[in-house]
Structure 1
Amino acid sequence: MEQPVVEQPPMSESQWYIVKQADGHCTIEPAPPPDPAEKWGPFDSQGEAIARRVGLIRSGKCLPV
C-alpha cells in the first residue's frame, strides 16, 4: 500500500525578516541578512513582520524608529 504524498506549499516569494541593526533599531527586510545579525522570522507577510516588530519594541529588544 502506497503512502499518500503530502505536498508542501511552495515557499512564498515574500518571506520577511526583522533584522536588528547595530544602533538598536530593527528593520524589516525581504531576505535574511548574510551576516549573523540578530534576526527574527521568516514571516509570511510584511504586515505580520511589522506587528512583530511592534512587540519587539514594546519588550525593549528594538528601538522605535
Structure 2
Amino acid sequence: MRPTHTQISPNPELPNARMNNLQSEETAWYIVQQGSGQCEIRPNSDPSAPPHLKQWGPYQSKAEAIAKRIGLIRAGKCQPM
C-alpha cells in the first residue's frame, strides 16, 4: 500500500524564518510626520531623532502601521510620499 502522507524534508531556513518573525513581532512601529507633512513608518521610536510634528503608535506590525498611515492620508493628516 502507498502511504497516505507525504514526507517533507526538513528546511534548515525554517527556524531562521521563525526567528525573524519573532523579532519583527517584538519591534514597535511608529508613524512619524515630517516637516513636509509626509508621514514615514519607522521601527522603534528614536529619542535622538530630529523633532517631528506628530507621532502615532506604537503598532505591533509594519502592516498595521501601513494601514494606519493610509487612513491618516485619507483623513488629510498626512501627505502621500
Q: Does 1:31 align with 2:47?
A: no
Give distance in 2, aligned partners of 1:33 and 1:18.
Answer: 12
Q: Does 1:20 align with 2:33?
A: yes
From the superposition, tell whether residues 37 and 29 of structure 1 become closer, same or farther in structure 2 (CA, over 3 Å).
same
Structure 1 residue ranges (4+ consecutive) displaced by more than 4 angstroms after TM superposition = none
Whichever of the two has the greater Rg, that structure is 2
Paired residue secondary structure (1:42): strand
Q: For CA contacts below 8 A with separation 6 or more, give which structure has more relative contact order.
A: 1
> What is the percentage of aligned positions where both structures have the same residue?
52
TM-score, length basis structure 2:
0.61
Where is the helix percentage greater, Structure 1 or Structure 2?
2
| Structure 1 unmatched ranges of 5 or more | 1-11
Give distance in 2, aligned partners of 1:22 and 1:33.
Answer: 17
TM-score, length basis structure 1:
0.75
CA contact (8 A) 1:20 1:26 kept: yes
Measure how far apart 1:13 and its partner are.
Answer: 2.6
